[in-house]
Structure 1
Amino acid sequence: MTTSNPAAPERLEIDGAPATAEQLRARALDGFGHFTAMQVRGGAVRGLGLHLDRLDAATRELFDQGLDGDRVRAAIRHALAGDGTGRAELRDAAVRVYVHAPDGEPSLMVTVRAPVELPATMAGRAQSLKSVPYVRPVAHLKHLGGFGQTYHRREAERLGYDEALLTGPDGAISEGAVTNVAFFDGREVVWPEAPHLAGITMRLLEPLLAEAGLPTRRGPVFLRDLPAYRAAFVTNSWGVSPVRRVDDRDFPLDEKLMATVAGLYEDAPLDVI
């Protein structure tokens, strides 16, 4: 199952106004920045506070300045709003917030696309992963310029897989090209600790799984360890999907595990933007 959202943005605004050609040229030539991606439902987002914290922390690291969460929320609301001249308000959407600093001050670009909907059944969502020897630079940031991960994901898709599984020395698993990955040994959920981006859905699920009585931890996971695990799943802003195969190793669909994980995600509160 390959799910993507390649269409051009329905709306694109920079600092609360339609983007100009000059602004877009500047950003096209500037690969230094970061972003976050979210699914909006009914004008609200799961883990909105985590998105705002991510944007603020990365802006401080890259540009030595903070980024006020209310400013980000206002920019998203404006991009989703109707304007009284035929532009309708959007309540459901896929939204990205990009942060550049072309003049030394953080600038926000908000893109709005149609919402992503995963298949209703877990079997329909099941992902096949192709391991590749690649670890993202500065992996803890959701930064721009992801040529390597995009290249490997496209190559994996050409080979009939849904996603690339990024690995480091000795086959140490880190993350998917656009996902976090977790493995289940029948007792606990293990998230690989090799350099990775701690995704919003992953960060939402970690405490929820523990509260539900399903232990979760971060630790080393190597390709050679896969026979020790009975199930796996991936997460990103689209939600939760089971893994059906990594390279030539099949994983059976653990309906009970996936019902628990997906249920916790679906029940997580939505925060009004």
Structure 2
Amino acid sequence: MTTPPEHIEIDGVPAADPGLLAALMSGFGHFTAMQVRDGRVKGLDLHLARLDRSTRELFGQDLEGKRVRALLAGALETAGRRDASARVYVYPGVRVAVTVAAPAPDGPGAPQRLTTVEYWRPAPHIKHLGGFGQSYHREAAVRAGYDEAALTSSSGEIAEGAITNIAFWDGTSLIWPSAPCLEGITMSLLETRLGSVRRPVTLAGLSGYRAALVTNSRSIAPVTSIDEVTYGVDEELMGRVLAAYDAVEWDEL
């Protein structure tokens, strides 16, 4: 076990709480990200369940939803925001950090161009810290002129995007890849409200779909290409998906 540091400095200035900073620097932990509007969150119960489940798995302790709600509400009040992009991070010792930033724009995201990379995240069911691999591949994709990276196995099975879930439309059902992935909150909210199925999605079969889209805590956006395969923006599909998401009630913190 690593010995906890007794003293930490940042640019020559002692850290106010070395224990907290050491936990943050460890890179071991998990988080959830959400949009807040008028002090309310969509799928709040799913966020709280995710945080508690991952805290139990990583640290062997509970994380009460009441505590998380109080910390979120307090951070929003201190920041003077009712609308925000918020994140809750959990570190060793069940130290909890909340970040508050400007809210993401409402409405659909801009069309996305994806490139594929051979990489699956470790422990993909946890929204964990230390995601160097996915960050590395996504940054490389952006530098190459794409908007996102789609993560695939060595056999060409697609799991998810680097920071998104991805779904495909075959004209009848919305197909979510059945490969191991992080089940995003937006994905979970949509999957139960639309005609959805899970099944393997492969690079070889991409041209057989009529449309694709990506989701995360910040947006729902159409996909216009994955490598050399192109898709049109299905306005009717996007309208139904966005309407399903808009119909989800906002939960009070």
TM-score, length of structure 2 as denominator length: 0.91
1:129 aligns to 2:117 (yes or no) = no
Alignment of 1:106-185 (within 5 A): 106-117=94-105, 120=107, 125-185=110-170
Of 46, 59, 78, which aligns to 2:42?
Answer: 46
Alignment of 1:247-262 (within 5 A): 247-262=227-242
Unaligned runs of at least 5 residues, structure 1:
1-18, 83-87, 210-214
Deviation of 1:25 (Å): 2.9
1:233 aligns to 2:220 (yes or no) = no
1:55 aligns to 2:51 (yes or no) = yes
Q: Which runs of 4 or more aligned residues in structure 1 lie more than 4 Å from their structure 2 counterparts after TM superposition? A: none
Match in the other structure for 1:25: 21
Deviation of 1:27 (Å): 3.0
Alignment of 1:97-112 (within 5 A): 97-101=88-92, 105-112=93-100
Match in the other structure for 2:11: none
Deviation of 1:106 (Å): 1.1
SS in structure 2 at match of 1:170: coil
1:222 aligns to 2:210 (yes or no) = no
SS in structure 1 at match of 2:81: coil
Q: Distance in 2 between matches of 1:166 and 1:203?
A: 19
- Percent identity reads 53
Q: Distance in 2 between matches of 1:95 and 1:22?
A: 24
Match in the other structure for 1:12: none
Deviation of 1:117 (Å): 1.0
Q: Quickly say closer, same or farther: Cα 1:23–1:39, change in 2 above 3 A.
A: farther
Q: Distance in 2 between matches of 1:36 and 1:90?
A: 19
SS in structure 1 at match of 2:193: helix
SS in structure 1 at match of 2:206: helix
1:196 aligns to 2:216 (yes or no) = no
Q: Distance in 1 between matches of 2:63 and 2:18?
A: 24
Of 73, 77, 91, which aligns to 2:73?
Answer: 77
How many correspondences in the alignment?
239
Match in the other structure for 1:37: 33
